[in-house]
Chains A and B, each alone.
Chain A
Amino acid sequence: MTYSHYWDELMGVLPPINTERVADYIVKRLRWYVTVYAGKKSGIVGVSGGVDSAVTAVLTARALGPENTFLYILPSYSTPEEDIEDARFVIEFLKIPDENWEMIDVDPIVEALENQLGGMTKVERGNATARVRMIILHQRAYRHNGLVIGTGDKSELLIGYFTKYGDGGVDVMPIGGLYKTHVRQMAKYLGFPDRIAYKPSSPRLWPGQTAEGELGISYEILDQVLYLRFEKMLKEEQISEILGLKLDTVKMIIKRVKTTQHKRLPPEVFHIGMRDLGSDWRYPREWF
């Protein structure tokens, strides 16, 4: 599929990103964030073979150099073989040195948890798997004096399609301002093959899980709804009309954003003193 072809299918509602400038901007910002703001040396990325982690890995390697980029393939029983191949492709594509990447099977760790905690449901095990990956990445980050670079995109973050303290448990989210549609555009710009750039999105927390299967809607549609509601601030009824979508579908998406707000914010602190964490605590993130 060509770039313009792909874009034409989006009915021209969501504007494309300026890939060159966005890439340059994210690289500059990430370099500063890791080395100056956090005072660290390296970036740690879990690569799944999907488009988000592929793009994040490239931008991290551009920001910090392949020698300071550590990539981890963390497959489970529900990871398809082609995802592992695509994750390896990312590693080769970036010329990551051999000592800077590993493949670690997470199943024995999840099984150990299950042995100790008792049997888990499909979703419990899926969340535990995501959190085991988080633990591995942070352990490696400490070892390599680095930060865990999150791979979440704007679409997933807004609808809360991630595991709290799992794939959401990261230090910084460089592509959190890009909708999935934009991540795919960026992947093409960065030179990834269609097989990765347009791969159907999936957390792969259980066999056969796909994002679109769970959400009941494609990311391309989802992104336009999110864009129109939260960037253009249109009403749900207007969005339904513009996109030719059922009003209930639009409402379902917006409701998802609202009910997952807790996943995007730090836990609430109850106010007791004159100035507590939370609404009183108006200090910048950059505070030296």
Chain B
Amino acid sequence: MKEKIRVGIAQIHSILGNVEKNLEKHLEFIRMAREKNVELLVFPELSLTGYLLKDIAYEISDEATIALEKIRDLTESMCVVVGLVREKRYGIYENSVAYICNREIVGYYSKLYLPNYGLFEESRYFKEGDVEDVKVFKWDGWKIGSIICEDAWHPEPAELVSRLGADVVVVHSASPIRGLYNRGDTVLERIWESIIVTRAVENSSYVIFANSVGPEDEEFFWGGSMIVAPDGEILARGKKMEEDLVVADLDIFLLRSARRFSSYKIHRKDIHDLLSLLG
């Protein structure tokens, strides 16, 4: 296993429903990341399609799947994770990310918790991912797992990929602006930071928060992506409200030290057994 891995977040502004334009943007960021020797590059939720698709969600997966092939060509010695609508069965769609490593599409992760409150109506369009399908991906000896946005607001999805072996948990997101009240950051920005730091510490893993940025339909995604170490330290932050390529080096040493000096090694199965019986 390599002692260090260089990771990047492509904090991009996707154009809603325009896979062609978004593909260009993906290729541009992959080239930029390659110049900075990034080995793992992650994109936000539904990065190839845009997030607020509404009924376009039914008709965009074919184009997005074709775009994956174009991305493949640029991934030599690199692992790239992109968001897309995936047609799991005919007419059944999932909010997914695809792992494309060294010119191969090596697998998918589909969102487990679909939000349906406020502006969100994901269950109208998507099926929840199957827990049995969740896996982690190996790259340069590092194990990487993904979860998507709302998944991070619950402890289990991050815990699941972590217990499956992930050293790095990627949270692909499309978090919009809300509540620009009072001074400083909004409530949502503060909550996201707390969540990402908590997921890192409770799982003794690196957590990468890759958020969308810019206007989309009636929303504006705020960016502010983060790379957090297993001890909760924020290693890198993306700009707010504009596109950015965020880069940091992850080091095995920090994983070791965090796991040595935490209770991560303890996993109470009985608690999970009981939880599974509760509503």
A contact residues vs B (CB 8 Å cutoff): 15-18, 21-22, 24-25, 28-29, 32-33, 37, 282-288
Which chain B residues in 108-152 approach chain A with CB under 8 Å? 124
Inside 8 A of B216's CB, which chain A residues have their CB? Answer: 286
Q: Are B182 and A18 in contact (CB under 8 A)?
A: yes
Q: Are A283 and B55 in contact (CB under 8 A)?
A: yes
Known: A284-B56, A286-B17. A18 touches B180 (CB 8 A): yes
B35: Cβ under 8 A from any A Cβ: no
Highest count of chain A CB atoms <10 Å: which of B18, B186, B215:
B215
Q: Are A284 and B183 in contact (CB under 8 A)?
A: no
B177: Cβ under 8 A from any A Cβ: yes
Q: Are A286 and B16 in contact (CB under 8 A)?
A: yes
B230: Cβ under 8 A from any A Cβ: no
Q: Are B17 and A285 in contact (CB under 8 A)?
A: no
The 5 closest A-B pairs by CB, nearest first: A15-B181, A284-B217, A282-B54, A282-B55, A286-B16
Inside 8 A of A16's CB, which chain B residues have their CB? Answer: 181-182
Known: A284-B56, A286-B50. 4 other contacts (CB 8 A): A22-B180, A28-B220, A286-B216, A288-B15
Q: Are B180 and A33 in contact (CB under 8 A)?
A: no
Q: Are B184 and A18 in contact (CB under 8 A)?
A: yes
Q: Considering the chains assembled together, what is the distance between the CA atoms of A285 and B54 in angstroms?
A: 10
Q: Considering the chains assembled together, what is the distance between the CA atoms of A21 and B241 in angstroms?
A: 10
Q: How large is the interface on B (under 10, 10 to 19, 20 to 34, 35 or more residues)?
A: 20 to 34
Q: Are B181 and A18 in contact (CB under 8 A)?
A: yes
Q: Are A286 and B217 in contact (CB under 8 A)?
A: yes
Q: Residue on A with the closest CB to B182? A: A15
Inside 8 A of A285's CB, which chain B residues have their CB? Answer: 217-218
Which chain B residues in 13-43 approach chain A with CB under 8 Å? 15-18
Inside 8 A of A37's CB, which chain B residues have their CB? Answer: 215
Q: Are A25 and B180 in contact (CB under 8 A)?
A: yes
Q: Are B52 and A32 in contact (CB under 8 A)?
A: no
User: How far does the Cβ of B119 sit from chain A's closest Cβ, in whole Å?
Assistant: 12
Q: Are A284 and B184 in contact (CB under 8 A)?
A: no
User: How far does the Cβ of A153 sit from chain B's closest Cβ, in whole Å?
Assistant: 15
Known: A286-B17, A286-B216, A288-B17. A25 touches B182 (CB 8 A): no
User: How far does the Cβ of B211 sit from chain A's closest Cβ, in whole Å?
Assistant: 15
Which chain B residues in 218-243 approach chain A with CB under 8 Å? 218, 220, 241
